[in-house]
Amino acid sequence: LPSYGHYFFARGSGMPVEGAGWPTVRPNAGTIGMGSSSVGQGLRGQGVFRSPSLRFWEPPVLPPTTRLSPNTYADRLRGLVIPTPENLNFEESLSVMLREFANRCNRVTDLHFPPLAAQLRSIGGMTKDTPLRSGDYFCTRHSNLDGVVQVAFHLLTRSSEAPASDEVQAATHRALKRIVCDCHRCHVAELSLPLLLLDIGTSESSLPYAVTQRRAENVLR
């Protein structure tokens, strides 16, 4: 602090005092002179010294606080469930929803986390010996989606070769419960998921209305 370092301790250490310049040290007399005036009355009889290791400067001026961009993290964390067939879990070009998600991620460079493709390759390498199956899921993190989504839960579903039906596997229901628990533990405030939990695009539909209605009800149970 300037009030303490410059006006009290600096006088005993031989450092310059603001407004008075460098003091004259007289170890024998125990008096310190400031320019033409003497301020050593309170230090008479005390030993004084000058040490080059003792340095006092003005307090550093800190840069202004940089607030996190709301376009990156927004005011709360948001998650997205991406259903992916188990036989296409790391193929961006084959999975419909994963391809659309990757296209959005590739529009802007992610400066905080690795690109989506790099995260998928890393997960693929870690699960090479024990492949993921339907009902498993993994997470990828993102900061380049305008604050809309920060974490994606890639939920593996039945193979894309299996016919679509209104039934939802029990393993998928258990995975959704675990995803909700993970969101609660990691303070993810919002979670979005496709109503049918199928790997279909926004303009595609391969189920009749009655089957679609029953499947939506089964997903939300």
Q: For residue range 170-205, what is the model confidence (pLDDT) as tens digits?
A: 999 999 999 999 999 988 999 999 888 888 755 455
pLDDT for res 78: 92
What pTM did the predictor assign? Answer: 0.63
pLDDT for res 80: 95
- pLDDT tier, 5 (very low <50, low <70, confident <90, very high otherwise): very low
pLDDT digits (tens, 9 = 90+) for 43-92: 454 445 454 444 555 666 767 765 555 556 667 889 999 998 888 767 77
State yes or no: pLDDT of 30 exceeds 50: no
Q: Are 215 and 196 in contact (CB under 8 A)?
A: yes
pLDDT for res 199: 81
∠ Cα 131 134 136 (to 5°): 70
Contacts of 5 (CB under 8 A, 6+ apart): 15, 56
